[in-house]
Structure 1
Amino acid sequence: MTSSRLGLRLAACLLNASEARRKDIVERIARAALYDKNGHQRPETTVLNIFSDYDYNRSVITIAATIDQLGSSVTSACVEGFKCIDLCQHEGIHPCLGAIDLVPIYPLSHVGLEECGQVAQDIAEKVATCVPGCSVFLFGYADEQAKKSLVEKRKSLGWFRKKSEIDLKELKNDLGTTPCRSYGITGFGASPYVMNCNVTLATQDLAAGRKIAIAIRSSNEGGLEGVQAMAFQHNGQIEIACNVESFRETQDANAASEAYKYISYCICGEMFSYVSPMHIEARIRALALKQGINTAGTALVGFTAEECKRLAEHAISHRIGEFWKKRSSVSM
């Protein structure tokens, strides 16, 4: 029986931890979401995926749960992460400002954005209390005052700059203490689902990669709606790392005429869309070929919104907590 039939109200957290080179630490954080202090499994929580990248030294842990359980699960994972990760010792090519860098909450089934925002805010307050010395900024539907997006908040904090250029003591936080070097500052927020899609270029030309990343950003004319992109040197090639944000569907004629480029889904009766990974790959390939560069592959970091919902329904209804370990052997 699926969670849809049971009427479970599901949400997900794609927790971004600044650690990928110590697998045991990453899995300790994941298991902290699944088990309480007495070692009892939380029956309405599952970890669907762990994506770790050595060069980035960053892991994305996909935690899915009922909305009533997600707060406790994610809080436990964050507390464990702060115990295990010292940002002073962190080295990696991906930008970060926190040992636990990002804690976004996304609705999956029968849950609204405002409720996810309240859950994200509650988690932030609990973590700030449980981990003395940690610092928090809020974004999206957890930012009650301005509902500033993650990109806006990150720009204001200098997240896109080199860590060596940032004075943590000058960063403006929303909760907790002045950011310290060990914990840094962590973003907690809520928004429609954000997918991560990375496209590799068969080149070592970082300038060419940055040119392509700029061209596809939604903030630039001709860019892809909802797409944020950065270019990195990665495994001897260049990777275009894309955050693909969902956006509310409109009746715009131009958008309708290009509907094949988008994937749609529903949140509490409201339709949202995001640019399809295939279209992102095609656009990057076209831009790369203009510079005489081929693409060398595309990878999703986790799942699309639909996949995340479907897998969460299956894992929770069958009480499969450590789904990331058992996915290949699970019959669905």
Structure 2
Amino acid sequence: MYLVEVVPNFSTGDPVKAKLIADCFRNRKNVALLNCTADADHNRCVVTAAGAPQEIRSALIDSARVAAEEIDLNAHRGVHPRIGALDVLPVVPLEETPESVADELVRQVGQDLFDKLGLPVYFYEKSASAPFRRNLADVRRGGFEGLAKKTSEPLWRFDIGEKPHPTAGAVAVGVRKILVAFNMFLKEGTPLNVAVRVAERVRFSGGGLKCVKALGLFLERENRAQVSMNLTDFTCTRVHTVAELVKVELKPFGAEAERGELIGLAPYAAIYDAAEYMLMCQGAGAEQCRTLSVEDVLDAAGRELFLELERGQILDFALSDAFGREIKI
């Protein structure tokens, strides 16, 4: 059986709506709901699921239908950029699944979104129809409010559809690598502009680390500024490298990080790298690190990244538990 991971992002932080969306991935043959998080400040829900391409195709369309019925972007407020109720839908081929299989699913789902729900589609990342459409930040620039103007320009017409859905906007769909979403909360009282400046220095577009995207945000319910980051290739830039750079960049402002946050799931390899870095800084050798238990790895990585890690947050383990066999990322 071919296996793909999907990580649809929905523009709601409402736990009731998030549950309705997540339920679309439950109790389906060859489909597993691995994780669901919802945040009110971001006003965003992130689902992680995996399964056979055609079975997960149906779950995705059902979840998009719920989002289109439940979310009106005209009344939506949140700190996270978005163009749609179902905002972005990445598809990741797992194990020996060919990228072409994942891309075929992207094309099928994109057409389904328009034919069944009237949602226009941009293809992005590895599925992009042109190089300038690969970067999600460029596709999403202008947000839901700017979609009508953006799509009036020939370069930014939808790949499928002609105009935005009046309440649900549009969807970006594409094949990509496994992404690690990692945030760092700054200590209470740290101004937003510090988080913004640090994010500018960390992200690749600002001259920072390759394969890193970052934003400085202020979360009212937390009463804290946050550096919100996506690592689009964790083998290119390691999670602990990003965490260490954030700490360094905070120092000139007299600011410090308080805690980290992992959104969704992370591959064990990314977490192991953080643990190894922490322990080798304390004098451990590489061979000693390789003999660590999973619990010790999670503990060391958690100390490096300022968070508490549990087995259920590791993608490899969540997949293995869901499908009854060992799956390594």
Give TM-score scaled by structure 1 length. Answer: 0.76
* 1:127-206 to 2 correspondences below 5 Å: 127-132=113-118, 134-146=119-131, 148-151=133-136, 153-154=138-139, 157-159=141-143, 166=146, 168-171=148-151, 172-202=157-187, 203-206=189-192
Letter in 2 for 1:158: G
Whole-Å separation in 2 of the counterparts to 1:78 and 1:13: 13
Give the deviation of 1:274 after TM superposition. Answer: 4.1
Say which of 7, 24, 39 aligns to 1:14.
7
Aligned to 1:290: 252
Give the drift of 1:290.
2.0
The structure that is strand-richer by fraction is 1
**218 and 200 in structure 1: CA distance in 2 versus 1, 3 angstrom threshold:** same
Q: Which 5+ residue runs of structure 1 have no aligned equivalent?
A: 1-7, 35-40, 247-262, 264-272, 319-332
Separation of aligned partners in 2, 1:208 and 1:190: 34
Bigger helix fraction: 2
Q: Secondary structure at the match of 2:227?
A: strand
1:237 and 2:224 equivalent?
Answer: yes
| Matched letter for residue 275 of structure 1 | T
Cα RMSD after superposing both structures? 2.0
Report Cα offsets for 1:76-112 as digits up to 9, x if no partner.
2112221221112211121111111111111222113
Counterpart AA for 1:187:
A
| Residues 231/210 of structure 1: CA separation in 2 closer, same or farther (3 Å cut) | same
Spell out the pairing of 1:177-326 with structure 2 (5 A cutoff).
Answer: 177-202=162-187, 203-221=189-207, 223-234=208-219, 235-246=222-233, 273-306=235-268, 307-317=314-324
- Matched to 1:136, the amino acid is V
Q: CA deviation at 1:275?
A: 2.6
Amino acid corresponding to residue 294 of structure 1 in structure 2: E
Alignment partner, residue 327 of structure 1 = none
- Cα pair distance change 1:125/1:118, threshold 3 Å: same
Identify which of structures 1 and 2 has the higher relative contact order when contacts are C-alpha pairs closer than 8 Å and 6+ apart: 1
Contact residue 122 and residue 139 of structure 2 kept, 8 A: no
Identity, % of aligned pairs?
A: 19
CA distance in 2, matches of 1:275, 1:297: 20
Contact 1:139 1:150 in 2 (8 A): yes
Unaligned runs of 5+ in 2: 152-156, 269-313
Structure 1 residue ranges (4+ consecutive) displaced by more than 6 angstroms after TM superposition: none
Aligned residues: 272
Q: TM-score, normalised by structure 2?
A: 0.77
